[in-house]
């Protein structure tokens, strides 16, 4: 069974997810974590966006957490699941090996960036600053390593063990500007905890 996508949901929920995907065009002052654009869902009703996205995120997390694999096999299955989410156009894991990040499991176009020094690019910056990175438009960055001419946005979320040591990171590229926000970051952080528990 494939990963849950917007096509798996009811007609009404798909409409809500469409609203969520265009939330950055909502009128100023509208809290998009509390409400979608009015009239976007059937019947002109308003819905809490975060509830709809939580349904998607929790379903994916549940599927991955329920897998029996460990180590690379688990990470490969997890990236395959993520790749089916709309807007997650390149999905990969990098392992931290000394002062370099080494490409691990991934789904998407092959990349020449199989090893990235800490401090270089979005991935290396995340480790150097010990903080997740959510980049709305990669074309605005000077310190950017291009993996694809189609990439417009990127999110990197660190994977840490129970003692707070960085093991690696989840790296997702999107083909649209502004593909990711804090809800994606929270979701990927939860996934990172699942991967860290069975890291090998």
Write down the pLDDT at residue 53. Answer: 62
Q: Hey, what's the torsion of the CAs at 40, 27, 134, 9, to 10 degrees?
A: -10
Tell me the Ramachandran region of residue 119: left when phi exceeds 0, alpha when psi lies from -120 to 50, beta otherwise. left
> Has residue 21 got a pLDDT over 70?
no
End-to-end C-alpha distance for the chain, whole angstroms:
26
Chain centroid to Cα 12, Å, comes to: 24
Structure-block tokens of residue 151: 């990439």
Cβ atoms within 10 Å of 33's Cβ, excluding its own: 13
Task: Tell me the C-alpha distance between 89 and 107, whole Å.
Answer: 9
Per-residue pLDDT tens for 109-164?
A: 999 999 999 999 999 999 999 999 999 999 998 777 777 778 999 999 999 999 99
Cβ atoms within 10 Å of 66's Cβ, excluding its own: 8
Task: Tell me the C-alpha distance between 61 and 154, whole Å.
Answer: 20
Q: What pTM was estimated for this model as a whole? A: 0.75
Which residue do the tokens 């929920």 mark? 13
The whole-chain average pLDDT of the chain stands at: 79
Per-residue pLDDT tens for 70-85?
A: 999 999 999 999 998 9
Would the CA dihedral through 39, 40, 44, 45 be positive or negative? negative
Per-residue pLDDT tens for 43-57?
A: 443 434 444 467 788
Cβ atoms of 127 and 96 within 8 Å: the answer is yes
């Amino acid at each position: 069974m494939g990963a849950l996508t917007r096509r798996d949901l009811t007609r009404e929920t798909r409409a809500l997810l469409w609203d969520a995907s265009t939330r950055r065009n909502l009128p100023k002052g509208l809290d998009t974590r509390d409400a979608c654009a009015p009239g976007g869902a059937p019947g002109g009703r308003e819905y809490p966006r975060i509830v709809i996205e939580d349904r998607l995120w929790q379903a994916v997390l549940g599927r991955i957490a329920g897998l029996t694999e460990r180590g690379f096999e688990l990470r490969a299955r997890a990236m395959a699941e993520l790749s089916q989410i709309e807007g997650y156009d390149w999905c990969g894991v990098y392992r931290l090996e000394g002062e370099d990040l080494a490409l691990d499991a991934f789904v998407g176009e092959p990349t020449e960036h199989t090893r990235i020094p800490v401090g270089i690019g979005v991935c290396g910056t995340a480790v150097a600053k010990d903080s997740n990175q959510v980049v709305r438009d990669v074309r605005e960055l000077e310190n950017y390593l291009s993996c694809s001419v189609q990439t417009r946005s990127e999110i990197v979320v660190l994977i840490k063990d129970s003692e707070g040591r960085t093991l690696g990171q989840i790296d997702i590229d999107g083909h649209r500007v502004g593909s990711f926000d804090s809800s994606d970051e929270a979701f990927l952080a939860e996934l990172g905890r699942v991967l860290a528990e069975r890291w090998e």
